[in-house]
A = this chain, B = another copy of it.
Amino acid sequence: MGEMSEDMTSSSKSPSPSIRSPEQHVFLETLFVSLDPYLRSRMTGREDGLYSPQFNLNQVVSTFAVGRVIRSKDSNYGEGDIVLSPTAPVSEYCVVPSQTLIRKIDADAGVPLPEYISTLGVPGFAAWVGIQVVAEPIKAGSNVFISAAAGAVGMYAGQLAKLKGCRVVGSTGSDEKVRLVKEEFGYDDAFNYHKERDFDAALSKYFPNGIDVYLDNVGGEMLEAVLNHVNQHAKIPLCGMISGYNKVWTEREGVRNLLNLIGKDVKMQGYMVGSYLDRFGDFVKEMESHLKQGKISSKLKIFHGIDKFLESLGSLFTSSNIGKVVIQVK
């Protein structure tokens, strides 16, 4: 994905005739802004595991967004086009290089626009890469565990594993979310990790036959507990480790039982979705099909107004949300 150069990018509270709009750029009205945990790792001033490029001080924060083209200096885009940008400044209006745009969106396709940054965006893609690519091959009947199960990635990952005929159990942060992942996302079971604090006991209870696949979104203590319950040849796609994002690495919880990876022939593999962009087309095709057939459901937590950016970003780290967090700008 391209990075914008600073002098080519402007943001403003309202469109102004004086705004710079150079060739091969589009002027966008931002419609929906995506809030994702990886943004936190771009604000630490350290390369601390995720190696995401750091936002500079006094430079606008950028993220995935759905926008409408207000003016275009690229013949591929016309006024009124709806587009997906991976590096849109968090603002009501912006100018971005047109080559950075990921796709033009068919607004009449019957898919609600925020789904392009959810089911068909980073969280959907992250779930798909974990389950369909990194954990491959998953056999029907496999015992699959997903942490942060009611989060943006977890809700899709569980549904994709169910579509493969797996038994899926999730952990999440409230009784309401436990109910939701079972009723809305079709998980076979789920538990509230705030209530069932003895993770080892919980995993013994929910996985009497052990764990074949663990899609990790949290890291730390839960990952350690899982390693005492893995079956032979288990696979552990590492999607995120949100328990550590607010700490420097030396303060994170150490995982002491990695020896289980040897004794049980386990593959643990981290992945950044940006490394799998060659599969993005396959993903969109499959997920759009699931979505249109009603095989995948989605839950959005919508904040209203660009001034909710900090609040909505902070909410990702308090286990207070359900599903994908977005800002509806207008």
- Residues on A facing B (Cβ under 8 Å): 48-52, 219, 223-224, 232-233, 238-241, 244, 249-272, 275
Contacts and interface: CB of A to CB of B under 8 A. Distances in A.
5 contacts: A49-B260, A244-B259, A252-B259, A265-B270, A267-B270
Nearest to A260: B49
A204 to B, nearest CB: 14
B256 A250 contact: yes
Given A49-B259, A253-B254, A272 B265 contact: yes
A240 B223 CA distance: 20
B275 A270 contact: no
A256 B249 contact: yes
Given A238-B261, A253-B256, A266-B270, 7 more contacts: A232-B275, A238-B262, A240-B262, A241-B262, A252-B259, A259-B270, A266-B269
A263 B268 contact: no
A271 B268 CA distance: 12
A264 B253 CA distance: 20
A265 B258 CA distance: 18
Nearest to A240: B262
Contacts of A232: 275
A212 to B, nearest CB: 15
A48 B255 CA distance: 14
B254 A50 contact: no
A260 B52 CA distance: 11
Contact of A271 (B241, B260, B265, B271): B265
A250 B221 CA distance: 12
A253 B259 CA distance: 11
Given A51-B264, A265-B270, A269-B268, A241 B259 contact: yes
A70 to B, nearest CB: 36
Contacts of A223: 258
Contacts of A244: 259
A275 B329 CA distance: 55
A195 to B, nearest CB: 23
A238 B264 CA distance: 11
A258 B219 contact: yes
Contact of A48 (B224, B259, B266): B259
B241 A252 contact: no
Contact of A50 (B240, B263, B269): B263
B270 A219 contact: no
Most buried by B among A232, A262, A265, A267: A262
A279 to B, nearest CB: 13
Nearest to A275: B265
Nearest to A232: B275
